[in-house]
Amino acid sequence: MKSSWSSGDTTTLKTVKTTFSGIASSTNKDLLGIAGTASGAGVAITYGGQPIKLGQATAAQTLNTGNNSLNFAAYLQGEGASAAIVPGDFTAVADFTLAYQ
């Protein structure tokens, strides 16, 4: 996942924090829940290789005048040792909020 945009005047707003939200997995509130024929897993979102908890803001990222990019990654993770993973199609939806400071 990559979010790119152009910032204007960075003399007032110098940083941005990103908060992801969505329907969490029923067994792991840090993962996005999945819908479809697959089960037993959820979607983890990372930034710089570190997991991002749903509902918690990332560390502030410095804004540059001009174009800015935030690079996030996502992967499918099993929900736990006792959860059977059932292969199949799935979808997951994440919303995000940018808080400028």
Q: Is pTM beyond 0.75 here?
A: yes
**60-100 pLDDT, tens digit each:** 999 998 889 999 999 999 987 777 899 999 999 999 999 99
- Residue-number span of the structural domain to which 13 is assigned: 2-100
Q: State pLDDT tens for residues 15-41.
A: 999 999 999 998 999 999 999 999 999
- As a 3-state breakdown, the chain gives helix, strand, coil percent values, each rounded to 5, of 0, 50, 50
CATH of the domain at 51: 2.60.40.1090
What strands lie across the sheet with 41-47, from one edge to the other?
2-7, 66-78, 41-47, 50-52
Looking at the structure of the chain, the number of domains it has is: 1
Element (H, E) at 42: strand 41-47
